[in-house]
Amino acid sequence: MATAPKRKANEPAAASSSQDLVNDQASGRRQEQKVYTFNNEPKQATAAKDDKTKPQKTILEEHGIILGKVIGTGNYAKVKIGFSEEYNKRVAVKIISKVKAPTEYTQKFLPREIEAVKGLHHENLITFYQSIETSHRVYLIMQLAENGTLLDYVREKKFLDEPQARTLFRQLISAVEYIHSKNVVHRDIKCENLLLDENWNLKLIDFGFARKDTKTSDNQVVLSKTFCGSYAYASPEILKGKALHTILLCLMSGLVVWSAMLWSSVVYPTMVPMFTSC
């Protein structure tokens, strides 16, 4: 268990008003939803017939989820704290706008991420509970990491002492070793994609760029020729356009995380994120 000086935890999320709850009902009838649960069994969820004597529930309320405050935002997604009645605990709800998100993301990277996380279960990976898809949004229901990202933690602390950094790095290696054993390559390991739970244990998230390792007919791993993620965490070979073994991609990214924890710096600090078709 990683330890750190006590700091103020997130305040409990208050039950939000009806304005805070996401309602995808364009009419009195509920839209068809695609729901995937942690046991990997997809199921179709549709609403019952209209009941004019009772107020319609929102899609998330239908699944026993009450939304609270926003804890993260992006160009086409935001993350809110929620409470799951099914699991009787707080969860993280990632809300992705299918209207704002690029088509390539909604049709390629997002389905790939959902497919990847459904089959992964490890103590240093964020637990995925379910996804709910409507005509306008996709909701990803996941474990809530109470202490935020590793990036924010390092910025607050300036740097981590070596024992704590070593513990977190060991947990990262354990997570990466596990997903590689499942023939999955993450390809976007960085401090922003590493969260800290209530016990200061590391959790790897965001499998949007993940993919299955491909092999030749003689069982040799096909070298990676494309680049995903951030320049700051990329290997020199990839920056030079050279093919590289996928395991070495993760190794280089992990070493940059190690550097960031100990010295609060990365190898290529002036580089900006770049994404290509992966």
pLDDT of residue 136: 94
Which residue ranges of the chain lie beneath pLDDT 70?
1-55, 213-227, 229, 237-239, 243-245, 267-278
226 DSSP assignment: -
CATH number at residue 108: 3.30.200.20
| Same domain assignment for residues 139 and 153 | no
Phi, psi dihedrals of residue 125, rounded to the nearest 5°:
-120, 140
pLDDT of residue 276: 39
Phi, psi dihedrals of residue 107, rounded to the nearest 5°:
-95, -20
Enumerate the known binding-site residues.
94
| Same domain assignment for residues 152 and 259 | yes
46: in domain: no
The domain containing residue 178 runs over which residues? 148-263
237: in domain: yes
- Which listed residue (50, 51, 188, 218) is catalytic? 188
List the structure tokens of 223.
């070298």
Q: How far apart are the first and last CA of the chain?
A: 35
Q: How far is CA 267 from the centre of its chain?
A: 24
29: in domain: no
Q: Among 108, 143, 178, where does a domain finish?
A: 143
pLDDT of residue 55: 64
How many domains is the chain partitioned into structurally? 2
Q: Among 143, 173, 204, where does a domain finish?
A: 143
Which residue shows structure tokens 């800290």?
A: 196
CA atoms of 184 and 207, how far apart (whole Å): 10
Q: Please name which of 136, 275, 268, 103 lies closest in space to residue 206, comparing C-alpha atoms.
A: 275
| Same domain assignment for residues 155 and 257 | yes
Enumerate the known binding-site residues for ATP.
94
Which residue shows structure tokens 């395991």?
A: 247
| Same domain assignment for residues 157 and 254 | yes
126: in domain: yes
268: in domain: no
Q: Which residues make Cβ contacts (< 8 Å) with residue 120, sequence separation at least 6?
A: 128, 178, 179, 182, 184, 207
Is 161 tagged catalytic? no
| Same domain assignment for residues 117 and 195 | no
7: in domain: no
Torsion of the alpha carbons at 108, 113, 115 and 116, rounded to the nearest 10: 130
Whether 180 and 220 have beta carbons less than 8 Å apart is answered as: no
CATH number at residue 190: 1.10.510.10
pLDDT of residue 215: 65
What sign for the dihedral angle of Cα 100, 106, 107, 109? Answer: positive
pLDDT of residue 53: 56
pLDDT of residue 214: 65
